[in-house]
Amino acid sequence: MISLPKVEKLKPKTQPHNFFIWGATMSGKSYFASYFPNPLVLNTDGNSEQGSAPSIQIRNIRGENGALKQSAIRQLDDIITALQVENSKRSADQQFKTIVIDVIDDICVMIEQAICLDAGVQALSDIPYGKGYAMFNTALQQFVMDLKALPMNVIYISRELSITDDNTGVTTYEPSLKTKYYNIVNGNCDVVIRTKKIGDGQNASYLREVKALRTMYNPANITDHRILQLLESCSGMFKKEDLEKLQQKKESK
């Protein structure tokens, strides 16, 4: 029989492992993600050869008859299986420690496409009784949950959407991932970061600001030095006094 845990108040030493990064094009999303420890990039936009991290191109490939030859869903599934099985068998310096989904918007479209091509329809709504949507939700949810279960950092990258209110003229910015997909993905993320580029050309400076946090993270609990450095470069990630305390501790050592 299962034994239930004791009733007690726990003091967890939490660390973030799942990140959501969004921002305008060329604002430094892929650049930032590539500095995480041993990254593997699942790329969708074909500009992977410009990045410095090893990458796999995700795509649906159609055969001559128009039917699916390689489905993105299958491909993602195979990659996750390989990471579960093969990654842990590698020597420590050859193990991937971070998986980057660049960009999740496109992955969602590819999952949708794969389901449609498989069923021989134009859109999810053409599959009767809402089964298309149900299949899509299951596939996306499964993908996100499988990634979360891997002993790795997971980074989802999304583009930026600017919306200008016609009445007030105020422009607001948000991730371009559709809200219903955003909720599925973000329900499994710990930190949401927005990247921003200020200035142009050689004068550009790159900013990162934290938009949402699952809990208040203490920099003293972050065990990986690289990740600590990266997170310190994001404004609003840690409390100032916690960072000062950590600094004092380092100096006294």
Ligand X SMILES: Nc1ncnc2c1ncn2[C@@H]1O[C@H](COP(=O)(O)OP(=O)(O)OP(=O)(O)O)[C@@H](O)[C@H]1O
Contact footprint for ligand X (CB under 6 A): 23, 25-31, 159, 195, 206
Least distance between ligand X and beta carbon 204 (Å): 7
- For 206, list phi and psi in degrees, rounded to 5: -110, 125
Kindly give the interhelix angle for 131-149 and 179-186, rounded to the nearest 10 degrees. Answer: 30
Q: Which is nearer to ligand X, 116 or 227 (CB)?
A: 227
Least distance between ligand X and beta carbon 200 (Å): 11
**Residues contacting 38, CB < 8 A, separation 6+:** 95, 96, 97, 98
27 binds Mg ion (CB under 5 A): no
Q: Which is nearer to Mg ion, 51 or 219 (CB)?
A: 51
By a kind-dependent CB cut-off of 5 to 8 A, residue 123 interacts, out of ligand X, Mg ion, none, with none
Give the integer Cα–Cα distance in Å for 77 and 146. 9
30 binds Mg ion (CB under 5 A): yes
Amino acid at 197: K
Least distance between ligand X and beta carbon 142 (Å): 26
C-alpha atoms less than 13 angstroms from C-alpha of 19 in its C-beta half-sphere: 32
Q: Which is nearer to ligand X, 117 or 234 (CB)?
A: 234
Total Cβ atoms within 10 A of residue 220: 14
By a kind-dependent CB cut-off of 5 to 8 A, residue 16 interacts, out of Mg ion, ligand X, none, with none
Closest-approach residue to Mg ion (CB):
30
Q: Six-digit token pair at 9? A: 């108040």
Q: Which is nearer to ligand X, 49 or 93 (CB)?
A: 49
Give the integer Cα–Cα distance in Å for 205 and 6. 51
Q: Which is nearer to ligand X, 17 or 29 (CB)?
A: 29
Q: Site residues (CB under 5 A) for Mg ion?
A: 30
